[in-house]
């Protein structure tokens, strides 16, 4: 695996070691740094569903390694019918989370690879999973360069959720751009808490601390006031799925940031690899938005039997392309994205 870059990139959440996938348990951060080992596909699916591993690219990479584990087990159990038997594992992995398209993209790539394999599938599939992992890190570094060019002269940046090494193979998407920009011009970095799961407050600031990048945490509800105070010129976010017209699904709260940014004349950048673009989805209207348990919002007082208080917990929202100033991918930058402009990224 591509080695962490000195100084600004030291975290690797997914590691293939001794025939198993090691996953940094993101539920335990920042208090504990604990890696768990998974040796089967259902364990990997559970690690994704329970958010031990999270973030669109990281979910896709984990699923690819999950297919390697599934193929190894299925081939050992039944070398003649493993290609049929593994369909069940694909189903379990695909059902782990609905919104991030990288999951389905990675599964498709593994499915294509399986079609041409004869004999023991493990070495060939492991090579594909490793390539997906490596390519992601390479794409992130390229997006870092492209995105940082747009930020030249900025003195303050705001980001949402966690889009860093923890959410990817390494380096990060929006946080990768921030790493690159910080190495060049030392802008002030602001991170929103990202309620209710606190990806910003628990993961982003932890990750930045690991790499010695100073950051200021804000309550999500302080973002408009931060913009009003003139402290940021850009908001940078990642994406879980970008529709063919540039509409972007990302962590809940992203849409509010985009609306606020437009009101205050602050620029809005989405940073995502092309594996996050879903060309089959014409607009954000048809993106499935994951709803998670009300226990993520309600305390035990309201969870008791007989309480009349419920909770609504969509964990993603869709930002219309019209509120986005630039989509940065490893294949290039689309400014003021629209159906037509997005086509330049199609290969
Ligand atoms: O629910 P999560 O933590 O998996 O959501 C993550 C996000 O919304 C990220 O912004 C997105 O996946 C991009 S990560 C590079």
CATH code, domain carrying 37:
1.20.120.420
Q: Rounded to a whole number, what is the distance in angstroms from the first to the last CA of the chain?
A: 26
Residues 6+ apart with CB under 8 A from 181: 147, 148, 151, 154, 157, 187
Query: What is the whole-number distance in angstroms between the Cα of residue 48 and the centre of ligand 1?
Result: 12
Last residue of a domain, one of 137, 161, 187: 137
| Number of domains composing the chain | 2
Of 97, 177, 199, which is best to mutate to test ligand 1, by the most ligand atoms within 8 angstroms of its C-beta? 199
Are 207 and 111 within one domain?
Answer: no
CA pair distance 96, 22, nearest whole angstrom: 18
Helix axes 122-150, 101-115, angle to 10 degrees: 140
Geometric angle at alpha carbon 122, from 118 and 124, rounded to 5°: 65
Pair 154, 96 in one domain = no
Alpha carbon distance 145, 179 (integer Å): 10
- Token representation of residue 300: 């035990």
Domain with 144, as residue range(s), is 139-346
Ligand 1, pocket-test mutation among 26, 250, 255, 296, most atoms within 8 A of CB: 250
Structural domain includes residue 264? yes
Residue 240 is a catalytic residue: yes
Query: Do 109 and 192 belong to one domain?
Result: no
Q: Using the mean position of ligand 1's atoms as its centre, give its distance from the Cα of residue 239 in Å.
A: 7
Q: Which residue's C-alpha comes closest to atom 10 of ligand 1?
A: 238
User: Quick one: pLDDT at residue 209?
Assistant: 96
Measured distance CA(57)–CA(238) in Å, rounded? 10
Indicate if 96 and 195 belong to the same structural domain: no
Give the residue carrying structure tokens 């879980």: 240
Find the angle CA(108)-CA(114)-CA(118) to the nearest 5 degrees: 170
233 in the same domain as 279: yes
Distance of CA 79 from the midpoint of ligand 1 (Å): 37
Atom of ligand 1 nearest to the CA of 251: 8
- Helix, strand, or coil (residue 191): strand
Same structural domain for residues 147 and 126? no
Coil, strand or helix at 91: helix
What's the whole-model pTM score?
Answer: 0.96
CB 204 within 8 A of CB 165: no
Q: Which atom of ligand 1 is nearest to the CA of 237?
A: 10
Q: Is 21 a domain residue?
A: yes
Distance in Å, CA 82 to ligand 1 centroid: 33
Q: Are residues 333 and 215 in the same domain?
A: yes
The span from the CA of 161 to the CA of 100, in Å, is 14
Nearest-atom number in ligand 1 for the CA of 59 is 4
> Which of 78, 103, 137 delimits the end of a domain?
137
Return the exposure string of 218-251: e unless at least 16 CB atoms fall within 10 Å of the residue's CB, then b: bebeebbebbeeebbbbbbbbbbbbbbbbbbbbb
- What is the predicted pLDDT for the residue at 5? 55
Ligand 1 pocket by Cβ (under 6 Å) = 54-57, 100, 161, 163, 167-168, 173, 199, 238-240, 250-251, 315
User: Is 5 within the bounds of a domain?
Assistant: no
Q: Judging by beta carbons within 10 Å of its beta carbon (0-12, 13-18, 19+), is residue 302 exposed, middle or buried?
A: middle
Atom of ligand 1 nearest to the CA of 102: 12
From the list 346, 27, 98, the residue with the least C-alpha distance to 240 is 98
Say if residue 102 is in the same domain as residue 150.
no
Cα–Cα nearest to 275, from 182, 173, 201: 173
Residue 287 lies in a domain: yes
Q: Which of 294, 285, 223, 297 is nearest to 254 (CA)?
A: 223
The one catalytic residue in 73, 240, 278, 325 is 240
In a shared domain, residues 125 and 160: no
The CATH number of the domain where 254 resides is what?
Answer: 3.40.50.10470
The answer to whether residues 147 and 239 belong to one domain is yes
Q: Across the 347 residues of the chain, what is the mean pLDDT of every consecutive 10-residue run? A: 60 95 98 97 98 98 98 98 98 97 98 96 98 97 98 97 98 98 97 98 97 97 98 98 98 98 98 97 97 96 96 98 98 95 90
Q: Closest ligand 1 atom to the C-alpha of 315? A: 1
Same domain, 318 and 218: yes
**Do 290 and 306 belong together in one domain?**
yes
Assigned token pair, 281: 């989805």
Q: Which residue has the tokens 């794409």?
A: 139
Measuring from atom 8 of ligand 1, which residue has the nearest CA?
Answer: 251
The domain boundary residue, chosen from 137, 171, 201: 137
């Amino acid at each position: 695996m591509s080695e962490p870059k000195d100084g600004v990139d030291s975290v690797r959440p997914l590691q293939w070691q001794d025939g198993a996938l090691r996953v940094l348990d993101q539920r335990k951060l920042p208090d504990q740094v604990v890696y768990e080992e998974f040796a089967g596909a259902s364990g990997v699916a559970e690690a994704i569903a329970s958010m031990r591993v999270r973030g669109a690219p990281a979910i896709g990479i984990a699923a690819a390694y999950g297919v390697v584990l599934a193929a190894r087990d299925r081939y050992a159990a039944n070398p003649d019918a493993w290609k049929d038997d593994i369909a069940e594992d694909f189903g379990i992995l695909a059902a782990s989370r609905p919104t991030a398209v990288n999951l389905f993209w990675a599964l498709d790539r593994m499915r294509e690879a399986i079609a041409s394999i004869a004999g023991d599938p493990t070495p060939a599939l492991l090579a594909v999973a490793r390539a997906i992992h490596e390519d992601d890190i390479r794409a992130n570094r390229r997006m870092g360069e492209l995105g940082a060019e747009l930020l030249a002269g900025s003195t303050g940046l705001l980001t949402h959720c966690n889009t860093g090494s923890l959410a990817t193979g390494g380096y990060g998407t929006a946080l990768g751009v921030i790493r690159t920009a910080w190495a060049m011009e030392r802008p002030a970095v602001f991170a929103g808490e990202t309620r209710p799961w606190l990806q910003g407050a628990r993961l982003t600031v932890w990750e930045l601390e690991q790499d010695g990048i100073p950051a200021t945490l804000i309550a999500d509800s302080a973002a408009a006031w931060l913009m009003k105070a003139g402290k940021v010129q850009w908001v940078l976010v990642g994406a879980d799925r970008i529709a063919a017209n540039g509409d972007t699904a990302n962590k809940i709260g992203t849409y509010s940031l985009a609306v606020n940014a437009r009101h205050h004349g602050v620029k809005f950048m989405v940073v995502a690899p092309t594996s996050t673009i879903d060309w089959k989805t014409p607009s954000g209207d048809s993106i499935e938005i994951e709803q998670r348990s009300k226990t993520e919002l309600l305390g035990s007082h309201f969870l008791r039997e007989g309480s009349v208080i419920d909770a609504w917990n969509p964990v993603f929202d869709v930002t219309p392309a019209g509120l986005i100033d630039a989509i940065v991918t490893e294949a290039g930058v689309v400014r003021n994205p629209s159906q037509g402009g997005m086509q330049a990224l199609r290969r």
